[in-house]
Amino acid sequence: MKIDLHTHSTASDGLYTPAELIKLAREAGLSIIALTDHDTTNGLEPALAAGQARQLEVIPGIEINTDISGAEVHVLGYFLEYQQAAFQQTLQTLREMRVTRAQRMVAKLQALGLNITWERVRELAAGTVGRPHVAAALVEGGYAASVADAFNRYLGRNGPGYVPRYKLAPLDAIKLINSVHGLPVMAHPAGISGLEHLLPSLCEAGLVGIEVYYGEYDAQTVEYLKSLADYYHLIPTGGSDYHGPGIHPTQLGARAVPEESVARLRTSALERRRTPAPAFELPPYRM
Ligand code: AMP
Ligand code: ZN
Ligand code: FE
Ligand code: FE
């Protein structure tokens, strides 16, 4: 059984619509796919409908980007009761802050003399706007050879077009996901310095899994992360982080995720639903 638990659609910065993604997943021989768009669940309804039509199981998911001193920590959430109104309101706020950030990045790039516009970036983003959309505008304008090149030249953390995002902490993302009975899972953890010091507090807050079988991670990295998962009793998950051609190198379904991991996620989801979900409020604006 082929499983991919980390994918993006046009609801955020992926290149394929949810329905197209499901079609591709079927063609790639997948049986289970999770859609994990950034700060939005707007792709889930069409993905679930397409999955039903094509007999492919779609697990509702999300990805929330957070920061810790100088590094990014992304938190995935699975099996969320995503229709909850307060949750949707929070996502809306996060997306609005992304708009402000992207506008500031465009302004910085314009000040450097680059001829790109916010209107074009907004057009390129069908849903949640992000740096990949600014990157695409830079490629279009002839300022970068590819999205990756645009990140290298302008949009990386130390790049001249970079603007920090609204600072959500990993704990905030976990609490947000907990508030809709979702399962928080740490995304692509390799390279996060101090990971082993960070994990205990996140586990205590409700982290249930960690990506082990991710993207292009090599055997040694997978082995290390699997040992961490075992030590902290975290479910080892994974996936391709597929965005469509040209953004991440991994192909849809390229990474084998054990069926047992999905079974453990399901059990965990059922357990969570037995207790009321704690409410969540976004912390005040910090830059
Ligand atoms: P943002 O959420 O706006 O900060 O943009 C981050 C997103 O950009 C990530 O989730 C990736 O999808 C993408 N990304 C980050 N770094 C790179 C890179 N070097 N090349 C291509 N895409 C990237
Ligand atoms: Zn992305
Ligand atoms: Fe990510
Ligand atoms: Fe992702």
Distances (CA, A) of 53 to 4, 19, 34: 18, 10, 16
Tell me the per-residue pLDDT of 247-276, one tens digit each, with 9 for 90 and over.
888 999 999 999 999 999 999 999 999 999
At 71 the pLDDT is 85
CA–CA dist 14, 126 (Å, integer): 10
Cβ atoms of residues 13 and 133 within 8 Å: yes
Of all protein residues, the one whose alpha carbon is nearest to atom 22 of ligand 1 is: 247
Average pLDDT over residues 207-223: 97
pTM of the model: 0.97
Cβ atoms of residues 187 and 211 within 8 Å: yes
User: Which residues approach ligand 1 with their CB closer than 6 A?
Assistant: 13, 38, 65, 130-132, 147-148, 151, 165, 243, 247
Least confident of 8-22, 228-242, 273-287: 273-287
Structure tokens, 29 = 């021989």
At 287 the pLDDT is 54
pLDDT at 29 over 80: yes
At 242 the pLDDT is 97
Q: Cα torsion at 127, 30, 57, 50 (round to 10°)?
A: 50
At 166 the pLDDT is 85
Atom of ligand 1 nearest to the CA of 131: 3
At 247 the pLDDT is 83
Residue 216 C-alpha from the chain's centroid: 16
At 240 the pLDDT is 98
Q: What is the mean pLDDT of the chain?
A: 96
Sorted by sequence, the CB contacts under 8 Å of residue 108 that are 6+ apart come out as 160, 161, 162, 163
At 286 the pLDDT is 59
pLDDT at 105 over 70: yes
At 79 the pLDDT is 98
Probe ligand 1: pick from 16, 38, 65, 131, max atoms within 8 Å of CB?
A: 131
Average pLDDT over residues 220-225: 98
At 167 the pLDDT is 81
At 69 the pLDDT is 83
Average pLDDT over residues 207-234: 98
User: Ligand 4: distance of its center to the CA of 111 in Å?
Assistant: 30
At 120 the pLDDT is 98
Atom of ligand 1 nearest to the CA of 133: 3
Atom of ligand 1 nearest to the CA of 130: 3
pLDDT at 200 over 80: yes
At 189 the pLDDT is 98
Of all protein residues, the one whose alpha carbon is nearest to atom 2 of ligand 1 is: 130
Atom of ligand 1 nearest to the CA of 165: 4
At 176 the pLDDT is 98
User: Ligand 2: distance of its center to the CA of 91 in Å?
Assistant: 16
Cβ atoms of residues 51 and 32 within 8 Å: no
Which ranges in 112-186 belong to alpha helices (H)? Answer: 118-124, 131-140, 147-150, 170-178
Of all protein residues, the one whose alpha carbon is nearest to atom 3 of ligand 1 is: 130
How many percent of the chain have pLDDT more than 70? 99
At 169 the pLDDT is 94
Structure tokens, 140 = 């279009």
CA–CA dist 251, 255 (Å, integer): 8
Probe ligand 1: pick from 151, 152, 188, 287, max atoms within 8 Å of CB?
A: 151
**Which residues, listed in sequence order, are joined to residue 62 by a DSSP beta bridge?**
77
CA–CA dist 33, 48 (Å, integer): 10
User: Ligand 2: distance of its center to the CA of 275 in Å?
Assistant: 32
Structure tokens, 174 = 């976990």
pLDDT at 136 over 70: yes
User: Ligand 1: distance of its center to the CA of 132 in Å?
Assistant: 6
CA–CA dist 208, 185 (Å, integer): 6
CA–CA dist 143, 152 (Å, integer): 12
